[in-house]
Structure 1
């Protein structure tokens, strides 16, 4: 096949796939989820053995809270260190497959659920119990972004929560999300300051309602 003909055929196939996805909401959602997962380094996620990070909440430049995580992905544990509102140090290791019902281990598990989702939500999009739906294009600060709606079936500690992800049209990464709780006020938060760690492309800052979440001290260990 001549090169020019091959290019034309390739473009035709791509256009056909895109058209079918547009006519098939489930197919569109699956394509968006696949694009996001791959853009975030999903092909490398299976190689990851350990993730270290610190989850920091700030307001007006002042740290309100921080939690240090050493997540042993292979062993299914997360060692967490944090201070409570009274300034007391806490240190516990959560067993992620069999979380306990009380004490510091319960708090450590809750911190893992919350903090790791702010850090790695795009890499959890393939987790069991996650349902994705295409929400169509929406404006985000003057940019038209495809949106992906996430809902959950028995996942996490608040499975009735939902999210709408705004995907960058060029990078396919999350630019912002809408958090939609079952009760109470929702909010929109940015996903920004992306960096790459062991093949994972991750946002290290989120801004919302006058507060900032920073992910710092990041180290990802993976098989070569």
Structure 2
């Protein structure tokens, strides 16, 4: 009986040991998903991100307001003297040009579509790490590299399948192995491009509500600025000029 117990114990140990080895030898997709989940946890966790309600920020010459729960967005573009109020889920809304409500149906539709495109672009520059596991996103781990500060980063290749306005894009996302945060990204307009159009830091993480967001970045003037996360906002922000 004791011999049988010992044999069973050895078999169980062998199974557990083999399982451990397989976990460490993950395929590139599984490893990328694990790293992405670590990033989101480090930034405050998915629950806190889902509970984040209103976000306001500046991107370039635009100011955006976003109700994450309803999909209502306000885009102010002073350069074009334009304000677009659009729901990104229904593509319904209104627009004001030169302080006047746009009434032409065809023009309104174009402006609402443009407003959504602005939101897609501008919000991605702010919230990309939270979207690493979105439907249609294809994420794989392709190796490691050194960051400018000397830290080692896991490099994730991100591509898209039938999502977004530019599904042909490719990104390389650099995740600091020590801090478990995205610290750099490279953008390729086409999947087969060998050289990125840009490589930029993704730094200066700050508390925004109950999560971390990267803004007012320290390596240049381009990117999201003046981010404010709030639980309440004036109703007219999404309904009136």
**Structure 1 residue 34: deviation in Å?**
0.8
So what's the TM-score if we normalise by structure 2? 0.72
Give, in whole Å, the separation in 2 of the partners of 1:220 and 1:200: 12
Q: Does 1:32 align with 2:39?
A: no
For 2:164, which of 108, 133, 156 is the aligned residue? 156
Give, in whole Å, the separation in 2 of the partners of 1:202 and 1:155: 23
Matched length:
195
Measured at CA, do residues 78 and 137 of structure 1 come closer, stay the same or move farther in structure 2, by a change above 3 Å? same
Give, in whole Å, the separation in 2 of the partners of 1:25 and 1:134: 5
Aligned to 1:174: 182
* Mean Cα deviation higher: 136-145 or 198-207: 198-207
Aligned to 1:78: 73
Q: Which runs of 5+ in 2 are unaligned?
A: 1-15, 93-105, 233-241
Contact 2:126 2:224 in 1 (8 A): no
Measured at CA, do residues 120 and 20 of structure 1 come closer, stay the same or move farther in structure 2, by a change above 3 Å? same
Aligned to 2:198: 187
**Who wins on radius of gyration, i.e. which is larger?**
2
Aligned to 1:218: 228
Q: Does 1:48 align with 2:52?
A: yes
Which structure features the higher share of helix residues?
A: 2
Aligned to 1:3: none
Measured at CA, do residues 83 and 214 of structure 1 come closer, stay the same or move farther in structure 2, by a change above 3 Å? same
For 2:82, which of 77, 83, 90 is the aligned residue? 90
For 1:122, which of 121, 124, 129 is the aligned residue? 129
Contact 2:137 2:159 in 1 (8 A): yes
* Mean Cα deviation higher: 73-82 or 93-102: 93-102
Aligned to 2:3: none
Q: Which runs of 5+ in 1 are unaligned?
A: 1-12, 57-65
Aligned to 1:199: 210
Aligned to 1:7: none
Give, in whole Å, the separation in 2 of the partners of 1:170 and 1:40: 14
Alpha-carbon RMSD across the aligned residues, in angstroms, is: 2.5
Secondary structure of the equivalent of 1:205? coil
Contact 1:54 1:218 in 2 (8 A): no
Aligned to 1:9: none
So what's the TM-score if we normalise by structure 1? 0.77
Q: Which runs of 4+ in 1 moved over 3 A?
A: 16-19, 98-102, 205-208
**Structure 1 residue 188: deviation in Å?**
0.4
Secondary structure of the equivalent of 1:189? strand
